[in-house]
Amino acid sequence: MREEGYIEVTGGRVWYQIFNKNSKATPVIILHGGPGSSSYSLEGLQALEKDRPVILYDQLGCGRSDRPSDTSLWKLDRFVEEFAQIREALQLDEVHILGHSWGTTLAAAYCLTKPSGVKSVILSSPCLSAPRWEQDQAENLKMLPIDIQETITRCEEEGTTDSEEFKAAIQEFNKVFVCRVQAEPDPEWVKKGAGYRNPEIYNIMWGPSEFSVKGNLKYFDCTNRLNEISCPTLFTCGRYDEATPESTEYFSSLVPNGQFHVYENSAHMAYFEEKEEFLQVVGDFLKTVDSK
């Protein structure tokens, strides 16, 4: 049983869908990556509905949500406000939150507003410090062939990140650190998902590429406040993730009720690369929290 619709938020309407709405168990709401991607690639997480309601939504400006032209909307605080508005509209008095990638930035920022009724948080491939993310990508880059390294570095310096040679080099980076399950050249759903993205939001908030943060998230770093997140919190990443195991484990050590899990055969998209294990780990964590 699936319900879908739109919710009015600051700046426009957000599209959402709910699976297993009538279950009495605590729902889990999914925060997708980006900024400016969509919930499309995460729809496999609807499988969690066997135990509880599952809510996915496309953040304003991307996916099936409205795409307003007001660029002042693309800032973290408004996305935090949007999430609060969605919770209120759907009457989610108690909720689990699962954020992936940029969705973890949003989840952490939201939790630090000290909202009531958050039973647990799952931070999948977390980005909780933009400066640290940038440093990690510089280290990841060193593991690639020298010609790929040089192309990425040169295009960054010259401002030619929209060139075909940069895109080809990024494909090589992505095969190692983003998704290691490769159809040629991309899984079909990855191609389809690209159509739901809004690159303008990514560019304004992050920048032209993963490697240098030039947008308004440039100085985002909540590591010194992670100890304020008191609910059970699960940190996960892939062994070869952009969100490195070292950084992810470090973040987990800063949260009083932090747990840490690595998907050994994944990069940044463990929910696709090791879907069964991802669902098992997340499902077990949620059931354990609910049983307490």
51 is catalytic: no
Cα–Cα dist 127/108, whole Å: 9
Tokens representing 17 are 């869908």
Residue 225, burial from CB neighbour count under 10 angstroms (0-12, 13-18, 19+): middle
Cα–Cα dist 40/197, whole Å: 10
268 is catalytic: yes
The active-site residue, picked from 39, 241, 261, 266, is 241
Question: How many of the other CB atoms lie within 10 Å of CB of 164?
Answer: 8
The active-site residue, picked from 37, 41, 65, 101, is 101
101 is catalytic: yes
CB 68 within 8 A of CB 61: yes
130-141 and 146-158 helices, crossing angle to 10°: 140
* 157 membership: H or E segment, kind and range: helix 146-158
- Active-site residue set: 101, 241, 268
